[in-house]
């Protein structure tokens, strides 16, 4: 390079130049060390070889297998052995560059509930545009003019992928590029899928998990009534859970599903915390629901654990394997408030919809609001009785 090379300060991010052209080179492990002549020769030979070689599909498939293992996707996702070379390269890029944690959780949950078998095989059509694709019960339909519908190929079942959100929106600040938020009007009511108010899920995989969790076997389904708790009480446990990233499962939880209803008055948010591992014989979760401009959080537990004992017994006695899991993320005080109550069971006609946050609205309806009102009335009675005792004395 000689005296014609201009080397800027080491603190500057721009590379050295020669005759106003940037010089690209490969450092050794020590930035200030030069390659020996034999190292340079090896690099030149390797570059020439790699530029001219045309890897076979078999070699690329071996590389794809290593990529799947590195991302812990082996046993979860497989690729059709008939993929031609360019599609194998596309698959390698897909596996290496995308975020897979939430997608993997959705696939494991679908398999756990019997909606699919793992590994899911990605075929040629899946790496190209296609008319429909089914993940368990969540079928997707490509639209000719662009866009996608879910569950039903009907108007109203469109998914708005990566919708425009306010810069301060919780899902905007935590958005993942390759697993963006999804907005839809899809809702489950009366045991079937329909369209209702607009829901924004924190990610595409969160939407899929919400769909999967919404369908449960009626025979074993059970939930606790909503319990109203101040988000800052009991050490601020609920405040901490709701302030976590919508993609990061809390301690002792397997996964998290976050959804918002921004058009409600007041706006509402729900988080489903999956308590059971993906190899559990049943599925149990905690639902946290809250409204804007209030400190009240509504808490409920849903499970498909087979019930035991008297139907009138408390939830903790009816679902002895689920109850101990509740204290993990909630702490013992809030957990006891929830599991010591008598459970609700599924209506045979309506089905076991787990997406029951519609039970509560901003006008004060629903079990949670009713419980809060009863507590406040009870405290008022106690205060009045205390005042009268003081007067009598």
Which of the residue ranges 108-122, 281-295, 370-384 has the most confident prediction, judged by mean pLDDT? 281-295
Same domain? For 124 and 264 the reply is no
Same domain? For 203 and 247 the reply is yes
Structural domain tally of the chain?
3
Same domain? For 207 and 351 the reply is yes
Same domain? For 95 and 200 the reply is no
Is 241 inside any structural domain? yes
pLDDT exceeds 70 at position 365: no
pLDDT exceeds 60 at position 175: yes
Q: Report which of residues 1 and 250 the model is more confident about.
A: 250
* 329-346 pLDDT, tens digit each: 999 999 999 999 999 876
Distance, in Å, from the CA atom of 27 to the CA atom of 22, rounded to the nearest integer, reads 15
pLDDT exceeds 70 at position 39: no
Could you tell me the CA-to-CA distances from 108 to 75, 180, 229, 261 in Å, in that order?
Answer: 10, 20, 32, 27
Per-residue model confidence (pLDDT) at position 1? 39
Is 210 inside any structural domain? yes
- In eight-state DSSP terms, residue 136 is T
Per-residue model confidence (pLDDT) at position 240? 96
Nearest to 188 by CA among 179, 178, 199: 199
Residue 266: is the preceding peptide bond cis (ω within 30°)? yes
CA 378, 295, 268, 256 torsion-angle sign: negative
Q: Report which of residues 248 and 52 the model is more confident about.
A: 248
pLDDT exceeds 60 at position 43: yes
Is 331 inside any structural domain? yes
pLDDT tier, 3 (very low <50, low <70, confident <90, very high otherwise): very low
Average pLDDT over residues 224-240: 96
Same domain? For 224 and 308 the reply is yes
Same domain? For 18 and 132 the reply is no
Distance of CA 5 to the CA centre of its chain: 52
pLDDT exceeds 80 at position 206: yes
Per-residue model confidence (pLDDT) at position 2? 41
Distance of CA 282 to the CA centre of its chain: 19
Range of weakest confidence among 86-90, 328-332, 375-379: 375-379
Same domain? For 325 and 235 the reply is yes
Average pLDDT over residues 170-176: 82
Same domain? For 224 and 91 the reply is no
Per-residue model confidence (pLDDT) at position 84? 85
DSSP 200-260: EESSHHHHHHHHHHT---TTT-EEPPPEEEETTSGGGHHHHHHHS-TTSPPTT-SEEEEEE
Is 153 inside any structural domain? no
Which residues contact residue 287 at a Cβ distance below 8 angstroms, ignoring those fewer than 6 apart? 270, 271, 272, 273, 299, 300, 301, 302, 354, 356, 357
Number of H helices, E strands in the chain: 11, 18
Nearest to 110 by CA among 77, 155, 69: 77
Per-residue model confidence (pLDDT) at position 123? 80
Percent of the chain with pLDDT over 90: 36
Same domain? For 267 and 207 the reply is yes
Range of weakest confidence among 53-67, 120-134, 222-236: 120-134
Structural domain boundaries, residue 33: 2-52
Per-residue model confidence (pLDDT) at position 49? 57
Which of the residue ranges 3-12, 74-83, 183-192, 268-277 has the most confident prediction, judged by mean pLDDT? 268-277
| Burial class for 177, CB neighbours closer than 10 Å (0-12, 13-18, 19+) | exposed
Same domain? For 274 and 333 the reply is yes
Is 383 inside any structural domain? no
Could you tell me the CA-to-CA distances from 46 to 25, 49, 53, 187 in Å, in that order?
Answer: 15, 5, 10, 56
Which residues contact residue 234 at a Cβ distance below 8 angstroms, ignoring those fewer than 6 apart? 331, 333, 334
pLDDT tier, 192 (very low <50, low <70, confident <90, very high otherwise): confident
120-122/77-79 β-pairing: parallel
Q: Report which of residues 29 and 190 the model is more confident about.
A: 190
Mutual angle of helices 57-70 and 85-97, in 10-degree steps: 20
Nearest to 111 by CA among 209, 255, 214, 219: 209
Is 148 inside any structural domain? no
Mean pLDDT of the residues in the chain: 78
* 275-309 pLDDT, tens digit each: 999 999 999 999 999 999 999 999 999 999 999 99
pLDDT tier, 6 (very low <50, low <70, confident <90, very high otherwise): very low
Nearest to 323 by CA among 340, 309, 306: 340
Per-residue model confidence (pLDDT) at position 104? 87
pLDDT exceeds 80 at position 211: yes
Tokens of 254: 């397997």
Query: Which H helix or E strand runs over 132?
Result: strand 132-135
Is 200 inside any structural domain? yes
Same domain? For 202 and 341 the reply is yes
pLDDT exceeds 60 at position 55: yes
According to DSSP, the residues that pair with 140 across neighbouring strands are 133, 150
Q: Report which of residues 10 and 274 the model is more confident about.
A: 274
Is 104 inside any structural domain? yes
């Amino acid at each position: 390079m000689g005296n014609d090379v201009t080397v800027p300060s080491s603190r500057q991010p721009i590379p050295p130049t020669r005759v106003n052209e940037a010089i690209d080179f490969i450092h050794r492990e020590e930035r200030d060390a030069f390659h020996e002549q034999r190292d340079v020769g090896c690099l030149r030979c390797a570059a020439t070889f790699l530029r001219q070689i045309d890897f076979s599909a078999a070699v690329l498939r071996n590389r794809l297998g290593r990529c799947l293992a590195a991302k812990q996707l082996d046993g979860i996702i497989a690729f059709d052995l008939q993929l031609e070379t360019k599609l194998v390269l596309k698959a390698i890029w897909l596996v290496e560059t995308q975020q897979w944690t939430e997608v993997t959780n959705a696939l494991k949950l679908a398999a756990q509930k019997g909606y699919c078998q793992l590994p899911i095989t990605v075929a040629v059509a899946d790496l190209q545009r296609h008319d429909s694709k089914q993940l368990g019960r969540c079928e997707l339909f490509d639209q000719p003019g662009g866009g996608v519908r879910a569950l039903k190929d009907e108007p109203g079942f469109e998914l708005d992928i990566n919708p425009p959100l306010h810069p301060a929106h919780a899902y905007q600040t935590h958005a993942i590029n390759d697993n963006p938020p999804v907005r839809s009007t899809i809702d489950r009511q009366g045991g079937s899928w329909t369209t209702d108010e607009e829901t924004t899920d924190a990610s595409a995989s969160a939407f899929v998990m919400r769909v999967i969790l919404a369908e449960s076997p009626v025979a074993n389904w059970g939930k606790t009534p909503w319990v109203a708790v101040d988000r800052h009480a009991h050490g601020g446990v609920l405040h901490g859970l709701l302030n976590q990233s919508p993609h990061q499962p809390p301690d002792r939880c397997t996964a998290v599903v976050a959804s918002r209803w921004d058009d409600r008055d007041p706006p509402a948010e729900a988080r489903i915390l999956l308590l059971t591992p993906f190899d559990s014989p049943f599925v149990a979760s905690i639902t946290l629901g809250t409204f804007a401009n209030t400190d009240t959080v509504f808490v409920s537990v849903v499970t498909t654990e087979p019930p035991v004992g008297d139907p009138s017994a408390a939830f903790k006695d009816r679902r002895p394997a689920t109850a101990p899991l509740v204290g993990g993320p909630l702490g013992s005080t809030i957990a006891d408030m929830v599991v010591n109550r008598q459970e609700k069971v599924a209506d045979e006609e309506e089905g076991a919809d787990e997406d029951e946050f519609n039970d509560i609205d901003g006008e004060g309806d629903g079990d949670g609001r009713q419980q809060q009102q009863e507590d406040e009335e009870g405290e008022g009675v106690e205060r009045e009785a205390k005042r009268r005792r003081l007067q009598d004395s």
